[in-house]
Structure 1
Amino acid sequence: MIDDLRGLDVRAWSLAGLAFCVLMMGVALVLEHLVGLEPCPLCILQRVAVLAAAAVFLVAAVHNPVGRLWAALYGLLSLGAVGGGIAVAGRHLWLQSLPADQVPSCGPGLDYMMEILPWQQVLSRVLSGSGECAEISFRLLGLSLPGWTLIGFLILALAPLGLLLLANRPRSGYHWSG
């Protein structure tokens, strides 16, 4: 099975990752526009992580390099974006697990903060969380949306790991004996 996966090229791994990013964003947009669930600031950061990974996968698929260095570079860049998404989704789940008396109070909206604060302060305030991020407005099979998003990011991590596996494959024609 591992040998079958090693047979995939950069384009195949990247297109698989890109397709999963499109699926994740499609679900998010359906939940927002058709179901009426407004994304909180942490949800928006998770979308940014999906879009960042999608951008890397798109460039990698179009480039479709043969070299192991490029596969490693695209694998590390996309894994960084996915890892950021995992961290934000984990933080979101943690906020949702807090008792009601420990939930941070709601602050100003993200749009307002983006207008008046430097991006570093906005990111810091968003990651510290707010009351709206701790609210659980939707569950499916007992999991809140950040839980499902975390699962999505863990599945999405398979594409960058595939690229890294590809980058670490033995060179053709090289056989180790001993």
Structure 2
Amino acid sequence: MNPFTWSFRAQFLLGFVACAALLSYALYTQHYGGLLPCPLCTFQRGAFVLLGGVFLIGALHAPRGKAGRAAYALLALLAAAIGTAIAGRHVWLQGLPPDQVPACGPDLSYMMEAFPLLDVLRKVFTGSGECAEVDWTFLGLAMPAWSLIWFVALGLWALYAGYRSRKSIFR
């Protein structure tokens, strides 16, 4: 069965399942593997939740018109672009030479309680030493690099699902 010929609903449902699986694995590594997420990892998880939510709503709604499918595709692309930017920044921080890595700061929960939201966002995207640590790799890539790959792939998948031509009204 070729997923490239599936209905819009099935293609968006597959996108949702991919996001749910990625988030499940992240939670598994946190609770059973002992890998605590840094602030940028937490923001990437939020982007996967947002992207998965768009995929799920699009799958449940399953618009028949081109405009509706395109709207969901663009919303998913926006969520994927946000995740790509966060993961890209994380990959960049991990690639810095050790002497240029920013110092470690407080954890995200403390910052959310103690600082205004804009200060928290600025501190998170500036990065900290804990975001530059590589604790997990698969095929030579760290988790933020895999997140980056998945955000790009899921964004392209949403565009394909939203803009591909359909031969019948039921596809």
TM-score (norm 2): 0.89
Larger Rg: 1
Pairwise CA RMSD:
2.1
**Does the alignment pair 1:122 with 2:120?**
yes
User: Contact 1:71 / 1:164 at 8 angstroms: preserved in 2?
Assistant: yes
> Structure 1: which 4+ aligned runs deviate by more than 4 Å?
none
**Does the alignment pair 1:76 with 2:60?**
no
- CA shift, 1:139, in A, is 1.7
Per-residue CA distance 1:69-100 (angstroms, 9 max, x = gap):
11111111111111111111111111011111
Structure 2: tracts of 5 or more residues without a match? none
- Equivalent position of 1:8 in the other structure: 6
Identity of aligned residues (%): 46
User: Contact 1:14 / 1:58 at 8 angstroms: preserved in 2?
Assistant: yes
Which amino acid is 1:114 matched to? Answer: M
- Equivalent position of 2:145 in the other structure: 147
Which amino acid is 2:47 matched to? Answer: A
Q: Give the paired residue count.
A: 168
- CA shift, 1:22, in A, is 1.0
- Equivalent position of 1:95 in the other structure: 93
Aligned pair in 2 of structure 1 residues 25, 170: CA closer, same or farther (>3 Å)?
Answer: closer
- Equivalent position of 1:107 in the other structure: 105
Rounded Cα–Cα distance in structure 2 between residues aligned with 1:8 and 1:146: 30
- CA shift, 1:8, in A, is 3.5
Rounded Cα–Cα distance in structure 1 between residues aligned with 2:67 and 2:107: 42
- Equivalent position of 2:83 in the other structure: 85
Matches within 5 A, 1:41-56: 41-56=39-54
Rounded Cα–Cα distance in structure 1 between residues aligned with 2:82 and 2:51: 10
